[in-house]
Chain A
Amino acid sequence: MIELISYLTVVIAKDYKISLILLTSTVLSIAYFIYEDASGTIINLYTLCSFILLILFTLSITYRLRSVKKGLKELYFSLPFHREELYLAEVTASIIYSLIYNLIAVSPLLFNIPPLDLILYTFLPSLFLGVTIVNISDDRWRNSIQWLTAVFLLPFLAELSIYLFDNNVYNSIYWIFNLLPHEIFLSLNQIKASLTFLNIGFNILTYFIYLGLAIYIGIYIRERRDIL
């Protein structure tokens, strides 16, 4: 598996455009961290640049992975690996790159940012990671829909629940909860308390949970299908 990931990495890294974007993103990201305490203008400038470049980077990687996977399909699936290993290698390779993006994008969570930014910083990485995973899976629409469900619906519900319990939305629909049986109402209140306590930690935890589920569901489905 390590050989397979290293192979994918080598093939991808040999693309000079991707390497260039990676290099620029890294430089800008470092600059972003260095200037985090400087004026707001500098932070925003570097954040914006990093964001755009990382989006380009992730898209390029997605395109490249897809090209490698499709173009070398006969060879790739003839390699002496178990199916699970092949799928995990694909997903892991995409995650390695997406993590670079996520790491930088989610890092502002550490600095008390407003809720809107929270959505941006948690959803965008999820979106790009999702797109990456879906794109490297095969083309069958059923698979894609299941992957999309796993990748997008779960975080969406998780995010929605956080905002229901943790923000003003909760107060505006408070009367709905009053209609619920007392035990459920109490449980919901307990969940709310936990969520408030866990706060951002929960976001990140949810992110990893749905990621795990997405991978599991994807592999489970594809285990039972023809691969060539």
Chain B
Amino acid sequence: MEVVKLIKLSKSIGVKQILRNITLIINRGDKVNIYGEDGSGKTTLIKCLLDLAVRDGGTVSILGYDPLNYRKEILRRTGYIPQNIRLKSRTKLKDIIHLIHTLYTEDYRALEELGLLGFLDKDVRALDDVFLTRLYTYMVLIKKPDLVIIDAIDNKNDGKSIYMLRKYIDSNRATLITTSREPSRILNETRHVLIDKGRLYEVPEGLA
């Protein structure tokens, strides 16, 4: 079953063409790592998948839906950890957790495992990257998603989050897409795709 299907996807920002006629098919259970230099188009590609950016051309299908019309359905079934995880609003962690719980279900066991329970009264601006990664990880896990997308996995340096994500993905046969600067195997990615100047190149296993 095709979870992600991109046909001739293109995207420009201003006069600069970021993605050039990208075609990519990802099947259920695939663990794909898209790697490339800064500015190669990794994050833009992810944003186009989730309707955080509007594509210029081509067709996109995620879990059978076009993100332009079915953003809600896609985001409900997709766990996403963005590149930039810093939260700059004067908001307590428990307010964010409260929001997550109104949208999904509660899982205090996962919260405890991630070590977040002791920080509920803390301002999210004061949380370091480790705990912010855990917060996003909690958001992913509680959704029980079919597709997990982690942008800039090489920046998410938290063993506990990685362990729990890996456990979830393996036990649920979820599809995984990660991006990084160098080829990554942090979440046991088995398929590597190089992105360079907006074009994708499939890299045979063993060469990445």
Point out residues on A near B: beta carbons under 8 Å. 3, 6-7, 10-11, 14-15, 67-68, 70-72, 74-75, 77-83, 85, 224-228
Contact = CB atoms under 8 A, between A and B. Distances in A.
Interface in B62-101: 71-73, 75-76, 80, 82, 84-92, 95-96, 98-99
Interface residues of B, number: 31
Nearest to A72: B89
B92 A228 contact: no
A226 B73 CA distance: 19
A116 to B, nearest CB: 40
A72 B53 contact: no
- Top 4 A-B pairs, shortest CB-CB distance: A71-B89, A71-B88, A80-B75, A226-B53
B54 A11 contact: no
Contacts of A74: 82, 84-87
Contacts of A225: 54
Contacts of A227: 51-53
Nearest to A8: B99
A178 B52 CA distance: 56
Given A3-B99, A11-B95, A82 B90 contact: no
Contacts of A83: 51, 71
A3 B102 contact: yes
Interface in B31-66: 47, 50-54
B25 interface: no
Nearest to A228: B52
B103 A80 contact: yes
Contacts of B86: 74
10 contacts: A71-B89, A75-B87, A75-B139, A78-B50, A78-B52, A78-B80, A79-B99, A80-B71, A224-B54, A227-B53
Contact of A75 (B13, B47, B96, B102): B96
Given A72-B87, A78-B80, A10 B98 contact: yes
A226 B89 contact: no
Contact of B71 (A75, A82, A226, A228): A82
Nearest to A69: B89
A72 B51 CA distance: 17
